[in-house]
Amino acid sequence: MLEKHLLVLGASRGIGCTTANYLRSSGHTVYTAQRTPQIQALTDEGTDKGFWAALDFQDPSQAVDLVQKFVADEIKLDGILCCTSYAEPKPKYLYNLFDFQHHLTANVIGPLMLLIYLEHHGVLKFAAPVVFVLDDRRIGSEYLAYGASRKALRPMVEAAHKTFPLHSDLLFAPLPENQELGADSFTEAMLKVFTEGHAGMGRVLDTK
């Protein structure tokens, strides 16, 4: 199996951190970028292969800096896993347009903006798989997380991806219910996508 160079967005905790560790332990070079400091530490194994970068999509300059680092190091990415989420629970009646803007920026606008930069600078290989994680998490009945509606945002991601247009292969990966901290089936599905190939723009992957 050939070594792949992969980028995981939103790898500070949960499925992003779990999958990044799994891909690294499988012998691949994994670069991670996230808004918050790492809460679940990435494994020590393979830490010399790849790097960690701060990335807050509310500050576009950080995305530019990340792309410039890839260019300077002459890194070519074989795929991207997007697990970003602006998730800070609050009562539904306090949810407002400002919160919705943060939600869109973290889950749609920011990742796609980075994708455009990466393609424009030749960092992301042609037709490389770009996987967006889909879930529909809720916290109780009175609260919701700003990252909870990624499943509902799928049409926006697809529309924006076609509008530019981009040359990456857009894929969606449902997160098994109640397994947001990592599931063997999910991590294995991601490894298969990035190493064994994929088929079909907009395809929803089987991660069960």
* 145-189: pLDDT as tens digits: 444 456 777 888 888 888 888 888 888 888 766 554 445 788 888
Specify the pLDDT at position 146: 44
> Is 125's pLDDT higher than 80?
yes
What is the chain's length?
Answer: 208
Give the per-residue SS3 of the chain: CCCCEEEEECCCCHHHHHHHHHHHHCCCEEEEEECCCCCCCCCCCCCCCCCEEECCCCCHHHHHHHHHHHHHCCCCECEEEECCCCCCCEEHHHCCHHHHHHHHHHHHHHHHHHHHHHHHCCCECCCCEEEEEECCCCECCCEECCCCCCCCCHHHHHHHHHHCCCCCEEEEEECCCCCCCCCHHHHHHHHHHHHHCCCCCCEECCCC
> Is 131's pLDDT higher than 60?
yes
Specify the pLDDT at position 203: 79
* 65-124: pLDDT as tens digits: 999 999 999 999 999 999 887 656 666 667 777 777 777 888 888 999 999 999 999 999
> Is 44's pLDDT higher than 90?
no
Estimate to the nearest angstrom the gap between the alpha carbon of 144 and the chain centroid: 21
Specify the pLDDT at position 109: 87
The model's pTM: 0.86
Degrees, nearest 5: CA angle 83-87-90: 165
Mean pLDDT within 125-152:
65
Query: Quick one: angle between helices 14-25 and 184-196, nearest 10?
Result: 50
User: For 68, phi and psi rounded to 5 degrees?
Assistant: -65, -35
**Per-residue buried b or exposed e for 102-141, using 16+ beta carbons within 10 Å of the residue's own CB:** bbbbbbbbbbbbbbbbbbeeebbbeebbbbbbbbebeeee
Q: Which residue has the higher pLDDT, 53 or 204?
A: 53
Specify the pLDDT at position 174: 82
* 4-22: pLDDT as tens digits: 999 999 888 778 888 998 9
